[in-house]
Amino acid sequence: MSVADAEELVALVRAYNPKSNSDLIRRAFAYGDEMHTGQTRHSGEPYFTHPVSVAGILAEQRLDDATIVTALLHDTIEDTKSTFSEVEGKFGREIAELVDGVTKLTNLQLSSTAAKQSENFRKLFIAISKDMRVILVKLADRLHNMRTIRAMRPDKQVQKSRETMDIYAPLAGRMGMQWMREELEDLAFHVLNPEGRNSIIRRFIRLQKDSGDVIHKITGDIRGELDKAVITAEVFGRAKKPYSIWRKMQEKDQSFSRLSDTYGFRVVTESEGDCYRVLGAIHQRWRAVPGRFKDYISQPKTNGYRSIHTTVSGRDGKRVEVQIRTRQMHEVAETGVAAHWSYRDGIRVENPFAVDPAKWVAALTERLDAEGDHDEFLEHVKLEMYADQVFCFTPKGEVVKLPRGATPLDFAYAIHTRIGDRCVGARIDGIRVPLWTRIRNGQSVDIITAEGQSPQATWIDIVATGRAKSAIRRRLREEDRERFIKLGRELARVAFEHVGRKATEKALRTAAKRLGLDGSGALLARLGSAELAASEVVALLYPEAISVGDEIEVTSVVVGLDHDQSFERATCCQPVPGERIVGISYRGKGVVIHAIDCAGLEEFAEQTNRWVDLHWQPGRHPPVHTVSIDLTISNDAGVLGRICSLIGEQQANISDLNFLDRKPDFYRLIVDVDLRDVEHLHAVMLVLEADSDVATLRRHRDIERKP
């Protein structure tokens, strides 16, 4: 609904709140209009038409005066000469803080890099926790911007649409504002995939021509059954949004013609008891589709959503989804947490199903580990935002809420981290099941634990919740710490020797202090886990001794040769800078360099006159040292491409691929990678080892290959 002037907005608000402070709204309208004078939108319209439209969207949700006024003023502090103190003086502290909160949300770059994005998500939830109304204004602001997005540059349209699809639409859905989520998704879909959206619409038009007005017919069928059962209720039907249909087609890998529930129907009753009577009448008339029944009345969603969902084989065998709820439940389903501020007839609506916003934010953030890293925080937040929930039970009958796709391991960690760490098995409804089993609604889960058990690396790929992933990673880091420290010590030794220094305990402690780490152990652990490069530590302590930008000449990488001696690396052991080496001289061939532990050196044990004492030139080496890596990987679509991408992400070049064995379930291959030094090799090996589709991994050394 468009709003033309202040009086029209006042009338819209007074229609649901006769006790509204009309003078406050008029003053805010006049002030906002004055502050934005001379400003225009991309479309050429006066800029103030945007805040007015945002206020109109929120008025349609029957929100309080403070929220409406905030909508009118939400861009004044950011885009005009207005200030916080001026807004506070004219409209009070509450409104000034709301406007300031919306301004801070606007300035958050939620679609930026992962580390910055996760920190901004923290700020987002902090702002929401202070007053949920700031996000209601921000969502309405985004909705109007998406409705008018065609006036923006094409690249900006794509950027805003992706941000809307990734962040604002799921957030609206998580808050229970399903209508807004669907419209935001569809508007973004229109920009990101116009042809896909148009194809859905064309198929709908064709379907209507073939089968007539399906919605009218099925609505009439349902009303007829309710009349027979003498149940008073309203019945609504609608075609689902194009993006909703497109997403289901992608998820189920089905064509439009095979997709069953392209229409949705709602039955709104007078009482909760009537909801179950309606369910009985519908199931008595049509056959229920197994596995498609959800009772969110007895087990509500955390955002307050209550409804019964069932899918039946209706007219002409078409599958039809029906949602059954009371009027109060319907209001919450339409407006979500916004129902907490809704007004009717001048008083705040006391809807028993509306969720307290403070409790909602607490439920959303209570499991976010404040000490977790950026990636884990962001992963957890997004899982919480996108998750549809399942409800399962402990053996004692207590309800546990988990996202769809959760496993017994997620259940175990939801109970307690210690239970998750010690989990060795699970029973669902009394039957022993694998830990990767997906839990379904209403199932009872019993976790089997054992002393001495600890998380496995493969568990990361099994669990679905951020809490479980964070706990598993933390425990794995603790267990790997000693191994990483040992490896990090060797990497530090090599890196320091490159510049003619020693990795003393004092040097390591100094570097750790400068990096804000808790002692040399933490520093070495990060080196060993490839979270930190040893060259960075050296550059931090001895900037004068290393020039990151200057690489050593290929002809000068080895020290200890005569000026006219040529050299080559042994193909049997493929030594790289950072490893201890020795040369074997050949008449007419120069010197062949071997790793000091190469088994091929045994044949020269009695020929000590041919041994040449060598070491690598300190400094930054060029990435020209080929190393062969022996890999066994899953034979699945996309795995080999991902492995190659992982190597490329480490700035390493693949010079050759040789398949040794091809089986239906795996490949074994040799990958030749061009590297700088042993630290570079370790970084590549570590990222490959962490991939769940890599079964085995080792450095390939072939003693049969002669230099």
Give DSSP secondary structure letters for 182-234: HHHHHHHHHHH-HHHHHHHHHHHHHHHHHH--HHHHHHHHHHHHHHHTT--EE
295 vs 597: CA distance, rounded Å: 66
Q: What angle do CA 252, 215, 239 make, to 5 degrees?
A: 45
Could you give the C-alpha distances from 660 to 417, 441, 633, in angstroms and in order?
Answer: 43, 46, 12
The two structure tokens encoding residue 79: 């885009």
If you ran DSSP here, which 8-state letter would residue 495 be given? H
If you ran DSSP here, which 8-state letter would residue 240 be given? P
- Is the Cβ–Cβ distance between 655 and 626 less than 8 Å? yes
- Is the Cβ–Cβ distance between 565 and 623 less than 8 Å? no
Please tell me which of 298-312, 565-579, 639-653 the model is most confident about, judged by mean pLDDT: 565-579
Beta bridge partners of 613: 582
- Is the Cβ–Cβ distance between 218 and 320 less than 8 Å? yes
Residue 544 above 90 pLDDT?
Answer: no
Q: What is the pLDDT of residues 442-469, one digit of tens each?
A: 788 999 998 888 888 788 888 888 788 8
Q: What is the pLDDT of residues 413-424, one digit of tens each?
A: 989 989 999 999
Give the pLDDT of residue 623: 84
Q: What angle do CA 341, 343, 347 make, to 5 degrees?
A: 110
The two structure tokens encoding residue 467: 């809490």
If you ran DSSP here, which 8-state letter would residue 317 be given? G
Q: What is the pLDDT of residues 118-159, one digit of tens each?
A: 555 666 666 665 677 888 899 999 999 999 998 888 888 998
Mean pLDDT, residues 673-693: 85
100 vs 130: CA distance, rounded Å: 12
- Is the Cβ–Cβ distance between 103 and 328 less than 8 Å? no
Residue 597 backbone dihedrals phi, psi, to 5 degrees:
-100, 15
Residue 367 above 50 pLDDT?
Answer: no
Give the pLDDT of residue 22: 92
Residue showing tokens 């700020």: 123
Q: What angle do CA 552, 556, 557 make, to 5 degrees?
A: 70
Residue 528 above 70 pLDDT?
Answer: yes
30 vs 32: CA distance, rounded Å: 6
Q: Which domains does the chain have, with CATH numbers?
A: 6-192 (1.10.3210.10), 211-348 (3.30.460.10), 474-545 (no CATH), 554-616 (no CATH), 625-699 (3.30.70.260)
Could you give the C-alpha distances from 399 to 77, 118, 392, 436, 463, in angstroms and in order?
Answer: 46, 30, 6, 20, 19
Give the residue numbers annotated as catalytic, written as ranges.
Answer: 78-79
335 vs 354: CA distance, rounded Å: 9
Nearest to 367 by CA among 422, 404, 416: 416
Name the band, by pLDDT with cuts 50, 70 and 90, for residue 344: low
Quote the pTM value. Answer: 0.53
498 vs 534: CA distance, rounded Å: 11
Handedness of CA 400, 406, 411, 416 (dihedral sign): negative
Mean pLDDT, residues 196-207: 77
296 vs 279: CA distance, rounded Å: 13
Mean pLDDT of the chain: 81
User: What count of residues does the chain have?
Assistant: 707
Over the Cα atoms of the chain, what is R_g?
32
Mean pLDDT, residues 75-102: 90
Distance from chain centroid for Cα 389: 17
Q: What is the pLDDT of residues 601-657, one digit of tens each?
A: 888 888 888 888 888 887 778 888 999 999 999 888 788 888 888 888 888 888 888
The two structure tokens encoding residue 147: 């409705």
698 vs 682: CA distance, rounded Å: 11
Give the pLDDT of residue 371: 43
Q: Please report the DSSP string for 350-407 in residue order.
A: --TTSPPHHHHHHHHHTTS-TTS-HHHHHHHHHHHHH--EEEEE-TT--EEEEETT--
347 vs 362: CA distance, rounded Å: 27
Q: What share of the chain in percent tops pLDDT 70? A: 82
573 vs 188: CA distance, rounded Å: 55
352 vs 155: CA distance, rounded Å: 45
Which three-class secondary structure state does DSSP give residue 143?
helix
Question: Which long-range CB contacts under 8 A does 641-648 form with residues at least 24 apart?
Answer: 642/691, 642/693, 643/671, 643/688, 643/691, 643/693, 643/694, 646/687, 646/688, 646/691, 647/671, 647/673, 647/684, 647/687, 647/688
Could you give the C-alpha distances from 575 to 617, 655, 684, in angstroms and in order?
Answer: 14, 17, 16
Give the pLDDT of residue 466: 78
Query: Which of 251-260, 479-488, 604-613 bottoms out in mean pLDDT, i.e. has the lowest?
Result: 251-260
- Is the Cβ–Cβ distance between 333 and 307 less than 8 Å? yes
Q: Give the residue with greater pLDDT, 462 vs 365.
A: 462
Residue 94 above 80 pLDDT?
Answer: yes
Name the band, by pLDDT with cuts 50, 70 and 90, for residue 548: very low
